[in-house]
Structure 1
Amino acid sequence: MRLIFMGTPDFAVPTLEALVAAGHEIVAAYSQPPRPAGRGKKLQPSPVHLAAERHGIPVFTPVSLKPADEQARFAAHGAEAAIVAAYGLLLPQAILDAPPLGCLNVHGSLLPRWRGAAPVQRAILAGDVHTGITIMQMERGLDTGPMLATVATPVAGKTAGDLTHELAALGADLMVRVLADLGAFDPEVQPEAGVTYAAKIDKAESRLDFNSDAEQVERQVRAFAPAPGAFFELDGERYRVLAAEVAEGEGAPGTVLDDRLTIACAQRALRPVIVQRAGRPAMETAALLRGRAIPAGTTLA
């Protein structure tokens, strides 16, 4: 099938790779423009941009698809369908209408739950038992289009990084299966019941809230690992907690309870397992405490 691929982050790369491996003709890849990154703040192409170049696929990085000339260029590719995975730009109606088979989206949730920008993190924070992938026919609304296929997976104790990686692979496989027999997948209108919205993550949300119960605080750790990293502050220094476990313990929320950095929460306690100080590598809590004592009774912010 003659396709346009539209995506930006690592999550989208497995779908692009799977489409190429399945023998589809990718006539163009659309991705967000290169962004400054690293210490030198040099412009860095997105993961999808780099993957497309490796396959010799022409890459387009418009800042908007609203201009008429961009819409004309998109239509001129003559694609039968556009495959979209975490692209990050609004698709105007003219773009949605250009391919005869429309635009199909790989979305990282079981719609209609967690429409929007951060479905993986929101599923973890909410304590969802399952999440998954939905292949959706796109329309102008925010992730409101008819569903073609879904696949579910347990959330369990996974971090956002682990879960994103898993969902990316599931989405790639499901999209290839859908395209192999598109007529066999009847579009299903999303139910009105159960709609939730996955708002974009604000970095302020990654500050650990010890006034919550320990299970919720541990979800914060997993939802923001590996990035931006849930954190607490001590003496003006930020400590990122990349893995943690719920432990027994009582005390004023935010108080260190023992020599293992067990931290009291509103109910029970949180024990960090992997911690990272600013400008230093991540390490096990025991190694951190050998170099930076945090005695019982210390209050963390």
Structure 2
Amino acid sequence: MRLAFMGTPAFAVPSLAELVASGHEVVAVYSQPPKPRGRGMKLTPSPVQVFAETLGLPVFTPESMKAAEAIEAFRRLDLDAACVVAYGQILKPEVLEAPRLGCLNLHGSLLPRWRGAAPIQRAIMAGDAETGVQIMQMSAGLDEGPVLLSERLGISPRDTAASLSERMAHIGAGLWPRALAALERGGGQPVEQVGEPTYAKKITPAEARIDWTRPAAEVDAHIRGLSPFPGAWFEVEGEVGPVRIKALMSAVVEGSGAPGKVLDEALTIACGTDAIRLERVQRPGKAAQSAEDMLRGFAIPTGTTLPSSSEPPRGER
């Protein structure tokens, strides 16, 4: 089939690789424009752009797909379909209707649960036992289109947003050849979404702050759901003021005390009920490291009480 691929982050790269390997003709790759990154704020292309260019595929990075010239250029591609994976731009009806078979989107949840920007993070933060990847026919509404193909997978108690995202990216990539073949031969019958939708709103920095008054299981899910980005965080007093530390991995353990109290030298912290042990952390300007390694050079004494957020961060339900 004659395709365009639209995607931006690393999550989308396996899908592009699968489409090319399956023998489809990818005539255009769309991605978000390069962004300033790093200490030098150098313009850096997205992972999808980098990968597409290594394959010699033509890449387009319009600032907005709502612009008339961008829409007309897309129309002129004369596509059978467009495959969209975390592109990061809203597509107008004129774009969605331009390909012969429409635009398809790979979404990281079991719709209609977790429509929106952060479905993988929200599923972990909410304590969901399972999630999935689905290819849906795109419509004008936010993730409201009918589902063409779906694959379920469990969420383990040790999953982070990074580990779950990686699994979902590869499982989702494998759905594309089947979905496109079914669509082309007219055998694919998209199924309308059923049930009450929930929305995976974008994570805010304030929401990422840890609230130690919540039960340990919820705090642990909060930490894992935001790891590694943007990273759940807490503050502790340093030599020259508060230091913000990201918690990247944790485990629920036995323990009790006032919420936020450091219970031992292994960085076990009391929560509203039970406790968590921080396993992996990151200080400002430092690489991620084990809690044990951090404590060698940055002491958090037993008995220290870590402050909680005044507005408890909660996954949208």
Structure 1 and Structure 2 fold alike (TM over 0.5): yes
Give SS of 2:206's match.
helix
Quote how far apart the aligned CAs of 1:181 are: 2.8
1:159 maps to 2:160: yes
Structure 1 residues 61-100: aligned runs within 5 Å: 61-100=61-100
Q: Which runs of 4+ in 1 moved over 6 A?
A: none
Map of 2:283 onto structure 1: 277
Q: Which of 176, 188, 199 matches 1:185? A: 188
Quote how far apart the aligned CAs of 1:231 are: 1.5
Q: State the distance in 1 between where 2:103 and 2:155 align.
A: 28
| Amino acid of the structure 1 residue aligned with 2:3 | L
Across the aligned residues of Structure 1 and Structure 2, the Cα RMSD in angstroms comes to 1.0
Give the TM-score, by structure 2 length. Answer: 0.92
Map of 2:150 onto structure 1: 150
Map of 2:20 onto structure 1: 20
Quote how far apart the aligned CAs of 1:184 are: 2.4
Q: State the distance in 2 between where 1:41 and 1:288 align.
A: 28
* Count of aligned pairs: 300
Quote how far apart the aligned CAs of 1:300 are: 1.1
Map of 1:241 onto structure 2: 247
Q: State the distance in 2 between where 1:147 and 1:140 align.
A: 14
Structure 1 residues 112-151: aligned runs within 5 Å: 112-151=112-151
Q: State the distance in 1 between where 2:251 and 2:192 align.
A: 40
Moved more, 62-71 or 16-25: 62-71
Give SS of 1:136's match.
strand
Q: Which of 257, 265, 274 matches 2:263? A: 257
Map of 2:315 onto structure 1: none
Quote how far apart the aligned CAs of 1:283 are: 2.1
Quote how far apart the aligned CAs of 1:204 are: 1.6
| Amino acid of the structure 1 residue aligned with 2:89 | L
Deviations 1:42-87 (A, max 9, x none): 1111111111111111111111122222111001011110000000
Deviations 1:239-290 (A, max 9, x none): 1111111111111111111222111100001110112222222222222222
Q: Percent identity?
A: 54
Unaligned 5+ residue runs, structure 2?
308-317
Give SS of 1:106's match.
strand
